[in-house]
Amino acid sequence: MSKPILGIIGGGQLGSMLAIAANKLEIKTVIFCDDIDAPAQNFSNDFVHGEYNDKNKINEFLSKVDVVTYEFENIPYETLNEINKIKPVLPKPSVNRIIQHRLAEKDFINNLNIRTTRYVSIEKKSEMDSVEDLLPGILKTTTLGYDGKGQHPISSLENLDSIDVDYSKGYILEKYSNATSTGGFGVDQTFVDTDFPLFRLADIYLMYVEAHLRGGAGADPVDAVNYMNALRTRANNPQDNLTLTDLTLDFIIDERARELHWEAHRRQDLIRFGRFTGGAYNWAWKGNGSNGISIPSYRKLYPIPSASLASNPNLSQNDGY
């Protein structure tokens, strides 16, 4: 029995990852996207470009697939619902209808007795006067806005005069809450006290390839090549047809310099690759020489601050300082 062909609506990063995962299972995929340059088409077996309400393109897409999924919540519910009448859609369109509408989403969660921050629907500016107790808060569009789009931090009613908001599109005001684990308030009413480390997906791809080249178990060389080409496609680098023979540690250290420029990775990368100290690998003004000069190996570590040494007698200064 042949495996079903998976249709994926949306052709961005998540669509790409879905297609790559399906390929590992020997499942063919077809991407349907309104972006003619959708990167996911590079990892799928077929691609259909069209608007999400174009019935002809939808029918063309459905003729090629057996089951349908979608990569993100902003695919129109009406489109998914109509498709579901012809081919099964998973998750169900009713799920998408909830998660793409912030008010419906919060109502649903609270009805499960899972408490969220306080919130209220806003359909006209005058309604803001009666909910001043929810400030500071964040005024958001109920649909479509993401990655900061359609979102406005509001600390006082006066802020409303400086933002362009069409209230007829539907908004939700969410109470900003910087609460601690004990239920008290944090030190700031504008930003949360918790710091979250963030790793860019590009960095993860580069780590994967480097780990594979260093002999790491479990890495798939096909994935390594696909990840590097996906990285270059996203960066509009026309040289996005690399093969396994192109992937070397020399290539990776250079690619990290290009991709992660100004992101504070270079020093540690050079140390890890054995190129920071010594004179085999130089750059302008290394060691305070115009063309770069050798520096001693102890420079791989920073000196311990004198204040730290003074406060803890068990510490001793790193060698060379």
- Residue 145: pLDDT band (50, 70, 90) is confident
Residues 12 and 95 in one domain: yes
pLDDT in tens, 259-272: 999 999 999 999 99
Instruction: Give the pLDDT confidence score for residue 309 in this predicted structure.
Output: 95
User: Does residue 129 fall inside a structural domain?
Assistant: yes
Whether 311 is in a domain gets the answer no
At 58-91, the pLDDT tens digits run 999 999 999 999 998 889 999 999 999 999 999 9
pLDDT band at 1 (very low <50, low <70, confident <90, very high): low
If you search the block for the tokens 């999924």, which residue do you land on?
69
- Whole-number Å distance between alpha carbons of 185 and 274: 47
pLDDT in tens, 98-139: 999 999 999 999 999 988 888 999 998 889 889 888 888 889
- Say if 120 falls within a structural domain: yes
Please give the share of the chain, as a percent, with pLDDT higher than 70: 96
In a domain, 238, yes or no: yes
- Within a domain: 64: yes
CATH number of the domain that residue 140 is part of: 3.30.1490.20
> Tens digit of pLDDT for each residue in 247-303?
999 999 999 999 999 999 999 999 999 999 999 999 999 999 999 999 999 999 999
Q: Which domain holds residue 167?
A: 113-175
For residue 260, the domain's CATH number is: 1.25.40.900
Place of tokens 């608007």: 51
Whether 179 has a pLDDT exceeding 90, the answer reads no
Q: Is residue 48 part of a domain?
A: yes
Q: How many domains does the chain have?
A: 3
Contact call for residues 125 and 139 (beta carbons, < 8 A): no
**Residue 189 confidence (pLDDT):** 62
pLDDT level of residue 147 (50, 70, 90 thresholds): low
β-strand 6-9 against 67-70: which pairing, if any?
parallel
pLDDT given for residue 190 in this prediction: 64
**Those residues with Cβ within 8 angstroms of residue 107's Cβ, 6 or more apart along the chain or in another chain:** none
Q: Are residues 206 and 243 in the same domain?
A: yes
> Does 95 share its domain with 137?
no
Give the list of residues 6+ apart from residue 58 with CB closer than 8 angstroms, or none: 32, 50, 52, 79, 82, 83
- Give the model's pLDDT for residue 168: 87
* Strand residue runs (E) in the chain: 6-9, 29-33, 46-49, 67-70, 119-122, 137-141, 151-154, 171-175
Q: Under a CB-based contact definition with an 8 Å cutoff, are residues 142 and 170 in contact? A: yes
- Based on its alpha-carbon atoms, the radius of gyration of the chain, rounded to whole angstroms, reads 26
**Minimum mean pLDDT among 24-28, 79-83, 146-150, 316-320: which range?**
146-150
Q: Is the domain of 159 the same as that of 218?
A: no
Residues 19 and 77 in one domain: yes
> Regarding beta strands 137-141 and 67-70, do their DSSP bridges make them parallel or antiparallel, or are they unpaired?
unpaired
